[in-house]
Amino acid sequence: MVSKQFQVFRNPYPESAEASPYFVVMQSDRFDRYASVVLAPLVASHATAKARLFHPRFEIEGSEYAIDMLQIGAMPRRDLGAPVAALDRYRVIDAYDALISGAWS
């Protein structure tokens, strides 16, 4: 499975799919040969803090979701299905920068 940076995939794990129905690929495409992939979950937008830079909102399949940057993790690439969307790279990068720099409004 090829997954590109900032593509969105459905969460394949039933035990966490209700809270985090989607994942977004965070890692660079340069690492697409690895068996695992670094992702951030997307959660219902009302479930996140008000800091929109840190939790940017995106519409996916008709509903609004926010990236939960504090829950970044890895999973086996083989568990990903087909991508359902792609997110604006600059908004995702801004949110990741806020996570590592601590600078957001």
Tokens of 16: 């966490």
DSSP 55-76: S-EEEETTEEEEE-GGG-EEEE
The pTM of this model reads: 0.89
State phi, psi for 95 to the nearest 5 degrees: -65, -40
pLDDT tens digit at each of 105 positions of the chain:
577 999 999 999 999 999 999 999 999 999 989 999 999 999 988 766 666 666 788 999 999 999 988 899 999 999 999 999 999 999 899 888 888 887 755
Cα–Cα–Cα angle for 37, 19, 88, nearest 5°? 55
Domains and CATH numbers, the chain: 7-101 (2.30.30.110)
Residue 22 in contact with residue 87, Cβ under 8 Å? no
Coil/strand/helix, residue 83: strand
